[in-house]
Structure 1
Amino acid sequence: MARSETGEEKKQRGVQSVEVGARLLDALAARREPLALSTLAEAAGLSSAQAHTYLVSLTRLGLVKRDALTGNYEPGPLSLRLGLLNLEHQPAYRAAAPRVSALALATGMSVAVSVAGPQGPTIVRYERGGYPLHVNLHVGTVMSLSATATGRIFRAFDNDARVAAMLAHQAEAVAPEMAARIDEIRARGIERSVDAPSPGVSSMSVPVFDGARRMQLALTAIGPTGLCDVDWDGALAHALKDAARDITGLLS
């Protein structure tokens, strides 16, 4: 007579192939950068042939994607959606969301919320303003650490180790002139870009901290040059700083 399973044994039963596939996803998350098949297989404790079989299915599901040029694997669109779902429950994002909508409505500028990602500062919420923009920004866009106001805000205020990892991914060198600029950004608490990195588009960006002064995200207002007030003491700068201060207050 076959032995009946106890309730605990039934409760713990899982699908082994799912758990093996999760090891590949965990390896991608831990390294925070696109990985070659061999590197990914080694990190997950699999042979390259085994890893490839699992990655085919994970790619079909959208949990990973493969770069057509390098052949490296990175998180896919479904992973991004799951990450955003998790992010929506984070205190900083939840506090920022209604203020981003209000900021876009009050200023007419588009407003982006960005967090540190494995490839660089990544837009996780984008509220379109009243002015049309000739630039392709959307949720998932990765911002340059040097060429954008958002990126320079992260370089100035985010965790040193996280900034170093993002710089390495973007192959950014720490140029002497950039170091001086970062010091100026820290003193001002705000950064701007005029006609850069896209002609005709300007922006201002501020950091948002938690109660322990750890940077959580960046708020960036973006609009057409000439309509986007980039004065350090202008109305847009004050609106951004006020919004950041309000969010921080909710996190203290």
Structure 2
Amino acid sequence: MNTVVDNQGISRGEDDDQEDPASGTPNNGSSNEQPRKAIQSVEIGVRVLKALMDCGKDGAHLREVAEKSGLSRSQTHRYLLAFVNTGVVEQNAQSSRYALGAFAVRLGVAALARVDPVQIAGNHLASVLEELQTTGLLSVWGNYGPTVIRWIDGGIPLFTSLHVGSVLPVQASSTGILFLTHCQRVLTQPIIDSERAGGLVIDDKELEVQTVKAREMGYASTLGTVVPGLSAVSVPVFDPDNKLVATMSILSRVQDKNFYTKPRIERIRAAAIEASRAIGWSG
């Protein structure tokens, strides 16, 4: 039986959290003691996950996670192994780095989906995509930048590496341009710096031209800059405080040059305005 130390410095066996089959209450070794209000191992596991999140989107080695979580390497490794086995964390076979896994993405998406603004925007997007018979996506600002939280297929199939959980480049995507346009630079600058360190560099003057245009036109567009052969038009969704809460994007193949007609663009803009007003925006 492994031993852990509780918040009062008392050593307890991990098996102490098991329920007493007869009573249905935690068996803590004494009938006079109150049941423990939490399972400490779960709380420690969350500390490990938080530490992993703080290490950045490229993941981290065991020692980094251990340092940030304040645990020993052996204890950290046991928790990480459990998370790997359940899909919450994944480990790169080449670099041995740990990063959040597919199940963690699903948890995050499920949590975001419960937020009313996201649900409202998603419903409006689904409606306009059905009308236009095309594919689209809904994105919000995540820890690593604009993140796809909903993907809706429709119309002609599009072959792309994009999926729920994908992080879009701030400098090179229509979604990213909208976040640059409507969010404070203190939020977006760290992501810009990270992209530039990775080799994606777009001049500040060019970014300013694009953000001014996006503000004037009410939308942003890109032509094959994120995924070759794929073009996109994105529109902003605002909350009651006039803050950008999500972006709605419609996608098409670059070869379909006549897809983005003025009526289609106005329709997706109208859908975003309707969603914003349903959320409480008064603009």
**TM above 0.5:** yes
Residue identity opposite 1:79 in structure 2: A
- 1:27 is displaced (CA, Å) by 2.3
- 1:159 is displaced (CA, Å) by 4.2
> Which residue in the other structure is 1:224 paired with?
253
Higher relative contact order, chain-length normalized (CA < 8 Å, sep 6+): 1
- Give the Cα separation in 1 of the matches to 2:45 and 2:76: 8
Secondary structure of residue in 2 paired with 1:229: coil
CA deviation vs aligned residue, 1:4-54 (integer Å, no higher than 9, x gap): 235xx2151x33322211111122345554333222212211122321221
- Give the Cα separation in 2 of the matches to 1:78 and 1:123: 15
Instruction: Note closer, same or farther for the CA distance 1:36–1:174 as it changes in structure 2 (3 Å cut).
Output: farther
> Which residue in the other structure is 1:189 paired with?
218
Residue identity opposite 1:28 in structure 2: L
What's the C-alpha RMSD, in Å, of the aligned pairs? 2.3
Alignment of 1:61-210 (within 5 A): 61-170=86-195, 171=197, 173=201, 175-176=203-204, 177-210=206-239
Instruction: Note closer, same or farther for the CA distance 1:21–1:199 as it changes in structure 2 (3 Å cut).
Output: closer
- 1:179 is displaced (CA, Å) by 2.8
- 1:98 is displaced (CA, Å) by 1.7
> Which residue in the other structure is 1:240 paired with?
268
* TM-score of the aligned structures, taking structure 1 as reference length: 0.87
> Which residue in the other structure is 1:4 paired with?
31
**Structure having the larger proportion of residues in helix:** 1
Aligned partners of 2:121 and 2:237 also within 8 Å? no
- Give the Cα separation in 2 of the matches to 1:209 and 1:32: 28
Secondary structure of residue in 2 paired with 1:129: coil
- Report sequence identity in percent: 26
Secondary structure of residue in 1 paired with 2:226: coil
Residue identity opposite 2:32 in structure 1: E
- Give the Cα separation in 2 of the matches to 1:247 and 1:31: 35
Instruction: Note closer, same or farther for the CA distance 1:57–1:168 as it changes in structure 2 (3 Å cut).
Output: farther
- 1:241 is displaced (CA, Å) by 1.3
List alignment gaps of at least 5 residues for structure 1.
Answer: none
- Give the Cα separation in 2 of the matches to 1:138 and 1:237: 23
Secondary structure of residue in 1 paired with 2:155: coil
Aligned partners of 2:172 and 2:225 also within 8 Å? yes
* 52-61 vs 142-151, which moves further: 142-151
> Which residue in the other structure is 1:19 paired with?
43
Aligned length: 246
Aligned partners of 1:131 and 1:224 also within 8 Å? no
Aligned partners of 1:110 and 1:130 also within 8 Å? yes
- Give the Cα separation in 1 of the matches to 2:61 and 2:181: 31
- 1:223 is displaced (CA, Å) by 1.0
Residue identity opposite 1:39 in structure 2: E
